[in-house]
């Protein structure tokens, strides 16, 4: 292994025979990003609050049907509460959001920070 001149990052040399990497194809120009509307965030937040209940930890899946799609949020969360038991913060350890259209799964602009705002209202 050879060190970078600034000694910050090591450079690892791999023999060409050992490299067999495959990459996903680049998105095509026809791929569109679906914007998640506020009504979907509100529905997800309501379903998630109900699923969390009074626990301080959540690991599971919530599903919400919308007029045009089916949404799934698979997540592991740590829930912080005040002394009265009210939620003061929700920290995702891991999450995956799926937006399923009748024909396929769609790419979205889902943002955990926006969902968090709905969860803490």
Please give the Cα distance from 63 to 43 (Å, whole number).
Answer: 10
Domain that holds residue 65: 36-119
Neighbouring residues of 110: CB distance < 8 A, sequence distance ≥ 6: 36, 97, 99
- Choose between 104 and 73: higher pLDDT: 73
Whether 77 is covered by a domain: the verdict is yes
Whether 61 is covered by a domain: the verdict is yes
Whether 31 is covered by a domain: the verdict is no
User: What percentage of residues in the chain have a pLDDT greater than 90?
Assistant: 54
**In Å, what is the CA distance from 19 to each residue of 11, 14, 15, 22, 25?**
15, 7, 7, 10, 18
pLDDT of residue 9: 46
Whether 26 is covered by a domain: the verdict is no
Whether 84 is covered by a domain: the verdict is yes
Task: Tell me the per-residue pLDDT of 25-70, one tens digit each, with 9 for 90 and over.
Answer: 555 544 678 889 999 999 999 999 999 999 999 999 999 998 878 8
Total domains in the fold of the chain = 1
Whether 112 is covered by a domain: the verdict is yes
pLDDT of residue 50: 96
CB 64, CB 37: distance < 8 Å: no
pLDDT of residue 32: 75
How many CB atoms lie under 10 A from the CB of residue 114?
A: 16
Is the pLDDT at 14 greater than 90? The verdict is: no
């Amino acid at each position: 292994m050879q060190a970078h001149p600034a000694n910050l990052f090591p450079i690892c040399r791999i023999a060409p025979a050992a490299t067999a990497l495959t990459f996903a194809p680049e998105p095509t120009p026809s791929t569109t990003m679906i914007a998640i509307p506020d009504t979907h965030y509100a529905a997800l937040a309501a379903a998630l609050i109900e699923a969390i209940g009074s626990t301080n930890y959540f690991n599971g899946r919530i599903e919400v049907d919308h007029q045009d799609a089916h949404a799934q949020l698979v997540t592991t969360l740590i829930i912080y509460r005040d002394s009265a038991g009210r939620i003061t913060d929700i920290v995702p350890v891991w999450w995956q959001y799926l937006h399923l259209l009748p024909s396929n799964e769609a790419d979205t602009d889902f943002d955990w920070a926006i969902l968090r705002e709905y969860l803490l209202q």
